[in-house]
Copies of this chain bind each other. A is one copy, B any other.
Amino acid sequence: MFIRFALTAELHFNRDLTPEAVEAVGEAVQDANTLLFRKGVPADATDEEVGRITSYAVTGAVLRLEIVSGPYTRAHDALFRFRKEVAQKLGRHHLGLRNIVVTSFRIRIPGPVPESAVPRIPFITSADHHDDAVDLVLDLSAADLENRVPDRIVRLVQEKVAAQEYGGKGEHWELISESSRRERVYDGDPTQEMIRRRWIKHGASRGQWIFGPQAVEIFRAVERLVLDEIIKPLGFSEMIFPKLVPWEVWMRSGHAKGVYPEIYYVCTPKTRDPSYWEDIADYYKVTGTVPVDQIRERLDGPVGGMCYAQCPPFWPFVQGETLANDCLPIRVFDRSGTSHRYESGGIHGIERVDEFHRIEILWLGTREQTIATASRLHDLYTRLFEDVLELEWRCAKVTPWFMAQEGMVGESSDAEIGTRDYEACLPYNGSWLEFQNVSVNGDKYPKGFNVKIQSGEECWSGCSGIGLERWTAVLLAQKGFDRANWPERLARLVSEPEEVFRFL
């Protein structure tokens, strides 16, 4: 069994077809079925597998076509190949093609396809489920066909079937390496202890903390260690990546495929003319209440969202460019602002927040350079966690982050592409916290943002995120608040905490 497409469409011309023109159509159909639609098709493909016009009829200025196909020269592709041909042929008869009206479009996708694998989108008017296939009736314009909507629907259904099949297996997780067990010196929850000490306090928004001087000193010590042990030895240069991310970036990065549930969306004022907003301000001044619903009506967008993954907004810097061989691999990092994720409700510790701070490391180059940089990073992280910070940690291969963020599961097809998470145990509750990752993303971003290499080799990239909240949570959970138990390097970087605030 193979996939099948069937469409009917009307080609509207600027005036009635003459008998000579009708004859030319007949020749064009004959030619298309025998030659045109066969182009690029494997020689052993059966007739049923290839696009063909099964009937045509002319009424006045309208040429009506029925086209069916299997997987080769799909019905919609056949339609456009034929359009080009027939428009040229009838042009000689002084006939101009005005427009194309698609009157029906059906797809049969083979295999058992559960109802939940058929997307709820306006194009699909009905789905008829059989044991061995699903028949979809679609409502599509010629523009939709040119935009390859049918192919995308097929791919989407197949992805959903695969995801549901995989779903039963759970998240991919495969241990790569781990430290020995460390002596436990503290069993408290660092967040609770920091709150008690007034080092941190909840911010006014959800999943958000205000960090006092003592907590920030630990953040900056982590940053110092990462700079000295990772960033400088590998020669990463600091850049500043934007923190408001428009759709355009997430369309190219792939996030537009699935990140919607967790985004903090950003909307812009319809105008910045103060008089447009005066009554909103007046309403607030008079009532003490912000008229949220009225404001909502005066906003455009959402135009995108607040930074979610940190590296996508870097890519416009190199978008559409060809990079010289001798500047590769390029190694950069960003630590210029916050990331925001709409996490599940409730109040959590600093290790699970809506607003967080991360140093994002990014590199690009050839396949070999990209893999080599990831490998060097793993060496240095391991040294840092094992020898310098003396943590109890483990490293696991997981679902690549870009697949996870597109709502996909499983593993990538290339064994070199993927994400490794570093996890550390939290003695106070016995769980393991993912606090660090290293990803080789293959050619995904260079392709999405159209970045090439002078040599013509495939451009690859990788990234690694260092979450300051999570590192701090891990360090304090394993080493506690008594600096006598801290690894020496860390203790040297953090001074005896000073009480800047004293509350009565």
**A147, chain B: closest CB distance, angstroms:** 7
A204 touches B295 (CB 8 A): no
Q: A242-B204, A264-B268, A340-B244 are in contact. Are A210 and B285 (CB under 8 A)?
A: no
Q: A205-B245, A306-B306 are in contact. Are A239 and B210 (CB under 8 A)?
A: yes
In the complex, whether A34 has a CB less than 8 A from a CB of chain B is no
Compute how far the CA of A192 lies from the CA of B330 in the bound complex, rounded to whole angstroms. Answer: 24
Task: Provide the A382-408 mask, 1 if CB < 8 A to any CB of B, else 0.
Answer: 000000000000000000000000010
Task: Provide the A110-124 mask, 1 if CB < 8 A to any CB of B, else 0.
Answer: 000000000111110
Q: Count chain B CB atoms within 10 A of each CB in A202, A250, A296, A331 and give the residue with the most.
A: A296
Question: Which residues from chain B contact A250 at a C-beta distance below 8 Å?
Answer: 290
- In the complex formed, the residue of B with least CB distance to A211 is B240
B276 touches A257 (CB 8 A): no
In the complex, whether A342 has a CB less than 8 A from a CB of chain B is yes
Quick one: which of A172-231 are within 8 Å of B by CB? Answer: 201-206, 208-213, 215-217, 219-220
Question: Which residues from chain B contact A274 at a C-beta distance below 8 Å?
Answer: 261, 407
Compute how far the CA of A206 lies from the CA of B272 in the bound complex, rounded to whole angstroms. Answer: 14
Quick one: which of A282-337 are within 8 Å of B by CB? Answer: 282-288, 290, 292, 295-296, 299, 301-304, 306, 313-314, 316-318, 321-324, 326-327, 330-332, 336-337
Question: Which residues from chain B contact A296 at a C-beta distance below 8 Å?
Answer: 301-302
A283 touches B338 (CB 8 A): no
B292 touches A240 (CB 8 A): no
**A48, chain B: closest CB distance, angstroms:** 26
A282 touches B119 (CB 8 A): yes
B269 touches A261 (CB 8 A): yes
Question: Which residues from chain B contact A22 at a C-beta distance below 8 Å?
Answer: none
B287 touches A210 (CB 8 A): no
Compute how far the CA of A250 lies from the CA of B290 in the bound complex, rounded to whole angstroms. Answer: 10
A120 touches B279 (CB 8 A): yes
In the complex, whether A233 has a CB less than 8 A from a CB of chain B is no
Compute how far the CA of A288 lies from the CA of B155 in the bound complex, rounded to whole angstroms. Answer: 13
B205 touches A304 (CB 8 A): yes
B240 touches A219 (CB 8 A): yes
Compute how far the CA of A247 lies from the CA of B292 in the bound complex, rounded to whole angstroms. Answer: 9
Compute how far the CA of A215 lies from the CA of B241 in the bound complex, rounded to whole angstroms. Answer: 12
Q: A238-B220, A272-B344, A314-B210 are in contact. Are A295 and B265 (CB under 8 A)?
A: yes
Q: A242-B210, A260-B269, A304-B205 are in contact. Are A500 and B237 (CB under 8 A)?
A: yes
Q: Chain A interface (Cβ within 8 Å of chain B)?
A: 119-123, 144, 147, 149, 152-153, 155-156, 201-206, 208-213, 215-217, 219-220, 237-251, 256-258, 260-269, 271-274, 276-288, 290, 292, 295-296, 299, 301-304, 306, 313-314, 316-318, 321-324, 326-327, 330-332, 336-338, 340, 342-344, 354-355, 357, 407, 454, 498-504
Query: With contacts A210-B314, A213-B237, A265-B299 known, what are 15 further pairs, Cβ within 8 A?
Result: A119-B283, A153-B286, A156-B282, A209-B242, A219-B240, A247-B292, A251-B288, A256-B284, A260-B269, A261-B271, A261-B276, A306-B306, A324-B504, A331-B500, A337-B338
